[in-house]
Amino acid sequence: MSLETVSTSRSHGGVQGVYRHRSRATGTDMTFSLYMPPRAGEGARPPVVWYLSGLTCTHANVTEKGEFRRACSELGLAFVAPDTSPRGADVPGDPGGAYDFGLGAGFYVDATREPFSRNYRMWSYVVEELPELIGAHFPVDRARQSIMGHSMGGHGALTVALRNPDRYRAASAFAPIVAPSQVPWGMKALGGYLGDDRQAWRKHDAVALIEDGARFDSLLVDVGDADPFLTEQLRPEMLQQACARAGIPLTLHLRPGYDHSYYFISTFMQDHLRWHADRLG
């Protein structure tokens, strides 16, 4: 579990780092960013917020554009941003070079279909390996964790939380793909990684998980009403209906004039981090 430091920078009294390691889950080198807030005292261990990014992104997108560090410093939150897929010359991508499958588009699943099953094990990486690595190398409180994400990463955050409700104290999403088994991005990804058995897709679909009995204390979702992917790919009304039927408290904000970009995310990042801090204690 060795770790290479790529860079560190002082920010808002804490340290923004970028790190690289060899992943046993993906069989590749993986890079992630971690912001450690100022420590409140000797032996202090901050809670951890996991942030899962969207299609085409790496750890760098939210690290450079998310505007989370001031809030994390004030609230005492560690903030971890992994990559969205394995990478490397030998890692297969989309045969046609499309942006919505393969490199940069791991969809936070463990692929079972060749040739992707060798490297595309992002579920195991995000849920098991990376938390173990962070806990071994940084003074964080792994008993207090929460998770959030954007778009494909919003899908990942919701499914991870719904399948692990005892591990994460809060979950939120910006413009999530809430029902990937019913929209084009998700059908392409789940079919490509998991094959044609749609029953196997359900554990990676937030709406299907809720329909099948998964529960979480409460969820926060923000979506822009000017998001070009709103009606075809995101479908937040489906999550709203599923949560209403299941009795899951959902705070859903439809933000007038906002799109899918990091201008949108950075505007409401502080709101989400305060939501997480309230629940992390």
Catalytic residues: 151, 227, 260
**Dist. CA 192–CA 21, nearest whole Å:** 27
Torsion of Cα atoms, 270 then 49 then 153 then 84, to 10°: 120
Q: What are phi and psi of 109, to 5 degrees?
A: -125, 160
**Dist. CA 225–CA 257, nearest whole Å:** 6
32: β partners: 19
**Dist. CA 244–CA 240, nearest whole Å:** 6
Instruction: Give the DSSP letter string of 111-155.
Output: --STTGGGT-BHHHIIIIIHHHHHHHHS--EEEEEEEEEETHHHH
Residue 148 one-letter amino acid: M
Q: Is 211 helix (H, G, I), strand (E, B) or coil?
A: helix
Q: What are phi and psi of 280, to 5 degrees?
A: -80, -20
Q: Is 280 helix (H, G, I), strand (E, B) or coil?
A: helix
